[in-house]
Chains A and B, each alone.
Chain A
Amino acid sequence: MADDTAVEREITVPVEPERAWELVTDPEHLERWFARHVELDPIPGAPVRVVDDDGAERHGVVEEVEAPRRIQFVWYAPPDGPPSTVEIEVAPDAGGSRISVTERELITMEAVGHVTAGPSSRGDLLALAA
Chain B
Amino acid sequence: MTDPVGATFAALADPSRRRMLSLMGGSGATATELARELPITRQAVAKHLSQLASAGLVAPTRQGRETRYRITPEPLEDAVAWIVQAGGEWDDRLARLGAYVRDDRTA
Contacts and interface: CB of A to CB of B under 8 A. Distances in A.
A129 interface: yes
A11 B7 contact: no
A105 B3 contact: no
Given A4-B12, A128-B51, A129-B13, A112 B6 contact: yes
A40 interface: no
Interface stretch (A41-49, A65-73, A113-121): A113-121
A13 B101 contact: yes
Interface residues of B, number: 30
A35 to B, nearest CB: 8
Interface of B: 2-3, 5-7, 9-14, 51, 54-55, 79, 82-83, 86-87, 90-91, 93-94, 96-101, 105
Interface of A: 2-5, 7, 9-11, 13-15, 23, 29, 32-35, 82, 84, 99, 101, 103, 105, 107-108, 111-112, 115-117, 121, 125-126, 128-129
Q: Which 3 A-B pairs have the closest CB atoms?
A: A4-B13, A33-B96, A129-B10
